[in-house]
Amino acid sequence: MKAAFYSRFGAAEEVLHVGDLPVQAPAPGELLVRVIASGVNPSDVKNRAGAVLAEMPYPRIVPHNDGAGIVESVGHGVARSRVGERVWLWNAQFGRADGTAAEFVTLPQERAVPLPENVSFLEGACVGVPLQTAYRSVTCGTSIEGQVVLISGAAGAVGRYAVQAAKAKGARRVIATVGSSDRAESVRAAGADVVLNYRQVASLSDEILEANRGQPVDRIVEVEWGANYASDLAVIRQGGEIYAYGSAENMSPAIAVQRLLVAGVTVHFRSVYLLNTEDRRTGIRDITGWLERGLLSHEVGATYPLERIAAAHEAVESKTHVGKVIIEIA
């Protein structure tokens, strides 16, 4: 099979190669999926660059955790009826050497979820990490029904899904921030009630409070905790909740612990790769229902052929596309 892989950490153009690798037969409890589309996440790019681990966990890695395709065969203990099933994939490469940047991938059966007929394979490849992260960000802790939710970086893949998930879960008002005016309309289309360009305001916290009639917000979904925590604490209500899923700009912020204590704010840090079984099952159940009913819109930022996987990784690193970058395998 054709596959992309790397054997050392480094720059995309230097370490990513495309060649032939053997197809791995599914072990008991696993299935083999013919990959149609492979989604590229920032975490995939960071892993390849060596920004997460000090040493390669495997001699060779086929990257990417997200994807969509068709079940080709199954291992012992997996229902034969799954052969031919359209599926979207999650955590394909997590804890394993081989991900979705290949014509075929073998993975545990629970990591392949039925993909409704009304959702394309390109859209299915958007779902895994971003939508599950977004779902968890609005359901972790107390219910958001009737609440006001602030979503930071809402033009990103996770943020745009978080807007939709918050609305689906009953949020009364969603305030979203974006970094450029050309991204605002996409976020409004996703359901945001107010969209603020944080690059065009003198005080973002003042603008957020004004957008909520002078009142603090109930929950914040935060993509840049290190950079934004001071602003977040200025607009969150006492006893409110913050779900921080990223902090790329500042991984070591000087946190004002006393302010957190006085405000009684709960800050959730949770990697979508490490969700427990029950949280994962609940999220997949709700997500499946939303997909079946056509309640979600998906934003494919750009598509690349497998042979140009290095360019796809560079696009994710440079943030040149709005939406998810997808590798079209077939």
pLDDT tens string 140-186: 999 999 999 999 999 999 999 999 999 999 999 999 999 988 889 99
Q: What is the pLDDT of residue 246?
A: 86
In angstroms, the CA 52 to CA 62 distance is 16
DSSP string, 258-316: HHHHHHT-EEEE--GGG--HHHHHHHHHHHHHHHHTT-----EEEEEEGGGHHHHHHHH
pLDDT at 254 over 70: no
In angstroms, the CA 211 to CA 50 distance is 41
Parallel/antiparallel/unpaired status of strands 148-151 and 173-178: parallel
pLDDT tens string 203-252: 999 999 999 999 999 999 999 988 898 899 999 999 999 999 987 776 67
Q: What percent of the chain has pLDDT over 90?
A: 85
Q: What is the pLDDT of residue 240?
A: 95
> What letter represents residue 78's amino acid?
V
How far is the CA of 36 from the CAs of 68, 86, 177, 315, in angstroms?
6, 10, 33, 20
Which domains are present in the chain? 2-128+298-328 (3.90.180.10), 141-269 (3.40.50.720)
Q: What are residue 327's DSSP bridge partners?
A: 38, 304
DSSP string, 207-232: HHHHHTTTPPEEEEEESBHHHHHHHH
In angstroms, the CA 242 to CA 264 distance is 11
Do 117 and 85 form a contact (C-beta atoms < 8 A)? no
Residues 6+ apart with CB under 8 A from 78: 26, 29, 30, 31, 109
Report residue 242 as tokens. 């913050």
Q: What is the pLDDT of residue 322?
A: 81
Parallel/antiparallel/unpaired status of strands 30-40 and 104-108: antiparallel
Q: What is the pLDDT of residue 131?
A: 97
Most distant pair of Cα atoms in the chain: their distance: 61
User: 254: part of which helix (H) or strand (E)?
Assistant: none
